[in-house]
Amino acid sequence: MLAAFWSFILFLSEAFGIKWAPLNVPLSRRLQTLAATGWICLILFGEAFAVLLFIKILYSSLWYLAIIYAIWMLNDIDVCHRGGRTIEWVRNWKWWSYYRDYFPIKLVKTTELDPSKNYLFACFPHGVVCSGAFGAFGTNALDFYKVFPGLSCHMITLAGHFMVPLFRDLVLALGGCASSQESLLYLLDTKRHQGNCVALIVGGAAEALDSHPGEYKVILSRRKGFIRVALKSGAPLVPVFSFGETDVFRPPSNPHDSLLRKFQERFRQLTGISPLFPIGRGVFQYTFGVLPMRAPITTVVRKNLDPTDEEIDSLHAEFTKRLIDLFEAEKSKYLKNYENIQLIIT
């Protein structure tokens, strides 16, 4: 009876084009899928869950803990602009290594970095949820501290994430800091510390709207704020490109003149967040769902560019050239059909 029922399910699945995951999958791959599931749930629902949990505690017999936490949080609210609060134990969780192996993600060094300096990593592309940059710079799963001895890394994200109770503490523990000029200059100040690498996704939420498989469209022409920060701090600029980042999700087509794109742009202008549809695969089938696809991501760190007293436009043009050189020099190693893939800069 059970076999007949399962055969019927498979028949319906084939009729609707659903491809199921095999039953005899190694445990390691199951754990990788579990890690990716937990990660995307954290991205999509983590903040809402944290707020609900805080409210639940507030209206329980443990209400005083919520009050104490709220008072402490208000006094701690600026820490995201003052270097954050990294907890290496959290960055070393085994969960992150399963997450790394799910895609898998690789970190490639093409140059040596002097640990006596601080560096501004300008990362491209954003993709839907920065899968590669997060794995490389937001965790220790790719052994960043071994690849670049003497250096530590902070990922930059929206300041709004640090206003969410409980959730903010996880982001801080992973080395996250706010995307403000104050925060960047603090982290890059060599008088305070040395060996800091600050990973900034330059294109931000706007660039995420142009993330589609096989396409590499980055927003750089009108982004010069990070150049100003590099000039003010004296930190070398380091181009970073994650090949394969745009292949892990299949968002619906959203041309600039479409109703969907107009809605997304309007929502982003109001909230700072791009309303994306992370269409990928499911836990037990490969056809639809919100899990990322198993597509390899290779994050390449290129030779740094030291700021000088030149005009911002000149430095911006040189950085753009370096980014294009990185893409063209490395794409054949990490992309299929690379001859037909071009980097589009807007």
Q: What is the CATH number of the domain that holds 49?
A: 3.40.1130
- Sequential pLDDT tens for the chain (346 residues): 566 666 666 666 666 677 777 778 899 999 999 999 999 999 999 999 999 999 999 999 999 999 999 999 999 999 999 999 999 999 999 999 999 999 999 999 998 999 999 999 999 999 999 999 999 999 999 999 999 999 999 999 999 999 999 999 999 999 999 999 999 999 999 888 899 999 999 998 889 899 999 999 999 988 888 988 988 898 999 999 999 999 999 998 889 889 999 998 888 888 877 888 888 888 888 788 889 999 999 999 988 776 555 556 777 888 888 899 999 999 999 998 888 898 988 8
**pTM of the model as a whole:** 0.87
Q: How far is CA 101 from CA 105, 141, 194, 212, in A?
A: 7, 9, 31, 22
Query: Is residue 205 included in any domain, yes or no?
Result: yes
Range of the domain at 118: 24-334
Cα 77 to Cα 85: distance, rounded to the nearest angstrom: 12
Query: Is residue 145 included in any domain, yes or no?
Result: yes
Query: Is residue 8 included in any domain, yes or no?
Result: no
Query: Is residue 341 included in any domain, yes or no?
Result: no
- Nearest residue to 298 (alpha-carbon basis) of 233, 250, 242: 242
Query: Is residue 323 included in any domain, yes or no?
Result: yes
Query: Is residue 14 included in any domain, yes or no?
Result: no
Question: From the CA atom positions of the chain, what is the Rg in Å?
Answer: 21
Query: Is residue 3 included in any domain, yes or no?
Result: no
Number of domains in the chain: 1
What local confidence, expressed as pLDDT, does residue 304 receive? 78
What local confidence, expressed as pLDDT, does residue 216 receive? 93
Beta-bridge partner residues of 154: 198
Around Cβ 12, how many Cβ atoms within 10 Å?
Answer: 10
Query: Is residue 7 included in any domain, yes or no?
Result: no
